[in-house]
Amino acid sequence: MTYCVGLFLDEGLVMLADTRTNAGLDNISCFAKLQPFHRPADRMIAAMTAGNLAVSQAVINLIQEGIENPETGALETIYSVPTMFGAAALVSKAVRLVYHTHGKAMLDQDVPFDVSILLGGQVAGRTMRLFQIYAAGNFIEATRDTPFLQVGEHKYGKPILDRAVTSSTTLTEGVKLALISMDSTLRSNLSVGMPLDLLVYRNDSIDSVETHRIEENDAYFRMIRDHWSVALSDAHRQIPAPEWLHRPTPGKRQQK
């Protein structure tokens, strides 16, 4: 299983993915699911993938090697598309090509054709965007009203995002919230696993992008996990008990 989350904030993008893949519980490996395509001064695009590993690796390969445009005959790649919308459309085409090539054989073996991709970034002079591409090749886009998208095992990590993320959340808070959301997922689903890959991109700063690999023993992530557990425990203890709970039964007299 996989968990990937992308925050689409006014300040920029935060993208966080785990690295665990498994084909059954006894065949567990570590694969990067976050793939940046960065060419300073020109574009910073990053993809995060969930679902069947063979499918997602084929898609990532195709968008780098290029897909022929039937009208012009030219090869389109993730480095040549002129816009983020074009990048999403390229990923969509790649998904459909992989389905065309492998879909039927997979379904014959009862392997579902399962892939979801988050694609975020910016092309120089254009606006920053974040898309989610489905297995059918159709796609949606994050907006200021819905400033995060998730793929994979998304439910455990959603409540904190629902409550705390708005488009005006800063990049720094966004990094913390994405890590908290990931921590909730790691605790509740063993098949989502460390290390984590994090990408932080500041809006309109095509020249630079930050990527970090967060290992199991990363001091900051461990601090967040501990801090968050303590904070949650304190928070529920501070809530007063309901007045209606354990109310004395009518027959029982209370002393003044």
Site residues (vs a second copy, CB under 8 A):
155-160, 162-164, 171-173, 175-177, 180, 184, 187-188, 200, 208, 210, 212, 220, 223-224, 227-229, 231-246, 249
Distance in Å, CB of 70 to a second copy, minimum: 39
DSSP 8-state assignment for residue 136? T
Q: How far apart are CA 63 and CA 57, in angstroms?
A: 10
Query: What's the min distance (Å) between Cβ of 174 and a second copy?
Result: 10
Helix extents (H) in 40-170: 53-65, 84-98, 104-108, 158-164
- 236 vs 256 by CB, closer to a second copy: 236
Q: For a second copy, which is the closer residue by CB, 71 or 234? A: 234
Name the residue nearer to a second copy (CB basis): 19 or 184. 184
Contact 98, 55 (CB under 8 A): yes
Per the CB < 8 A criterion, the answer to whether 91 and 117 are in contact is yes
152 contacts: CB under 8 Å, gap ≥ 6: 1, 2, 3, 4, 50, 51, 116, 192
Identify which of residues 25 and 239 has a Cβ nearer to a second copy in the complex: 239
The CB-of-83 to a second copy minimum distance in angstroms stands at: 27
CA 196 from centre of chain: 11
Indicate the residue among 92 and 122 with the shorter CB distance to a second copy: 122
Q: Least Å distance between CB 44 and a second copy?
A: 15
* CB 226, min distance to a second copy, A: 10
Q: Please report where in the chains the tokens 């994979």 appear, as a residue.
A: 152
